[in-house]
Amino acid sequence: MRRTLQLVLPLVILCFFATIIYWIFANSVEPQTQRFAPPSPHVVTRVLEKEDFGVTLHSQGAVRARTESSLIPEVRGRIVEIASNFQEGAFFEEGDILLQIDDRDYRAELIVAEAALAEAELALQQENARHEQARRDWERLNPGTTATELTLRKPQLKQAQAAAASAEARVETAKLNLERTKVRAPYAGRVLSKSVDVGQYVSVGSQMATIYAVDYAEVRLPLTASQYSFLDLPSVYRGANPSIEGGPKVVLSSQSLGKTYKWEGQIVRSEGAVDSQTRQIFVVAQVEDPYGASVPGRPPLKVGSFVQAEIEGRTLRDVYEIPRGVYRENSYVLIVSEDGFLNRRLVNSIWENELSIIVDAGLGEGELLCLTDVPYALEGLQVQARDEDGKPMAGMLTESASKPGSSGAASTPSGQPRG
């Protein structure tokens, strides 16, 4: 009996626990599983609108004078006087006498030439009288006949007339030479350098100074072929030389002692060749009165200064200006559809700068441009669109509308590509 109990009791205990475990599993309630969708990302959007965009071209160049000349005497002699403004850096006006060459020899030459002219004029008067006397004598002695030119002293008259004209020309030359002893400024300008002074003898053709004009300055500005196409400049053909009046405006800027100064000008012409090394085209900007004090506190625009240029280009009509950061892979942007899904849109860029891309095709007015940089943005990704002030866009699905209900049915996850 005791041995039988030792054998049966463990079996009874095992059956008891087995029965309990079976009852637990048989009466357990399977938990309801529910899939939760991750929240849709919030993105900032902008409503696309067509606009007119003014292109600004950027370039740089060095300031140069409109004209730079060598001051050369037309007569020889010793310099007896120089003007106070005949110094390096000094300004002068058109017609100012810059230096005086000894004119005593030229005054004497003028006196001699005037005396020779008086003699020639006297000889011409005498020959005129002889010609008239010969004509009257022939008509009195040989009425009704024609006299020869030699009989009427016409060759002698022509010779006297030529001698008088030659003497008069020598007087004019002497006057010119006398006037040329006063070396005058050919235009309003400034002295760049000089190589003569009082007491120095100069000959015809020797260089006395280098001067340049200051009525306006010029700047050669290089542009690429693409930039040049956005300038409103007329094409120049053989037989025509159109002037560019009211050409594109340009703003030149330069820094000095930590300050930026600006000068306004305009494009007046383009050069006739493409640079063989850089393949660039040069346009010429002109700034009037670069040394004038029209703006208080602004330094003069000196020759040789390096300046930055902003050139007014063409106005692009009915285009879209979008931030440069939303232009992906130089080919597409992200558009948020009306039901809140991302779509890739290929666009055509016609102009770009440091901040913006200008698009003329591929976008529609009123569409929502995604401004947020969405990592690994997939086609059909559902998003929550907001405007640039952070307010939800009207008509967009809200996050609560995409959450699953309590029925246990799984909804489309808002953070996954649209199926």
Domains in the chain, CATH or no CATH each: 68-212 (2.40.50.100), 215-234+244-316 (2.40.30.170), 317-386 (2.40.420)
pTM above 0.75, yes or no: no
Q: Which of 4-8, 55-59, 137-141 has the lowest mean pLDDT?
A: 4-8
Mean per-residue pLDDT over the chain, rounded: 85
Check whether 1 has a pLDDT greater than 60.
Answer: no
- Amino acid 32: pLDDT: 61
Under 8 Å CB-to-CB from 71, ≥6 apart: which residues? 98, 183, 207, 208, 209, 210, 211
**pLDDT at 397 exceeding the cut of 70:** no
Beta strands in 228-305 (DSSP E): 249-256, 259-274, 281-288
327-357 pLDDT per residue, tens = 988 889 999 988 888 889 999 999 988 889 9
Whole-angstrom Cα distance, residue 372 to residue 345? 15
Q: Which residue is associated with the tokens 């004009």?
A: 213
Host H or E run for residue 107? helix 104-141
Query: Tens of pLDDT along 316-335?
Result: 999 999 999 899 888 899 99
Q: Report in angstroms the alpha-carbon separations of 85 from 82, 182, 189, 191.
A: 8, 15, 11, 8
Question: Cα separation of 377 and 394, whole Å?
Answer: 23
What pLDDT shows up at residue 204? Answer: 94
* Secondary structure percentages of the chain, helix, strand, coil, to 5: 25, 35, 40
pLDDT at 377: 67
- Pairing label, strands 384-386, 42-47: parallel
**58 to 121, 279, 409: CA distances (angstroms):** 70, 17, 61
Q: Look-up: residue for tokens 């309630």?
A: 29
Tokens of 400: 């609560």
For 126-256, list the strands marked E by DSSP. Answer: 182-184, 189-194, 201-202, 209-213, 216-223, 249-256
The region that residue 329 occupies, defined by phi over 0 for left and psi between -120 and 50 for alpha, beta otherwise, is left
Q: Which two tokens stand for residue 157?
A: 């008259």
Q: What is the reported pLDDT for 30? A: 61
Q: Using N-to-C axis directions, what is the helix angle for 154-180 and 104-141, rounded to 10°?
A: 170
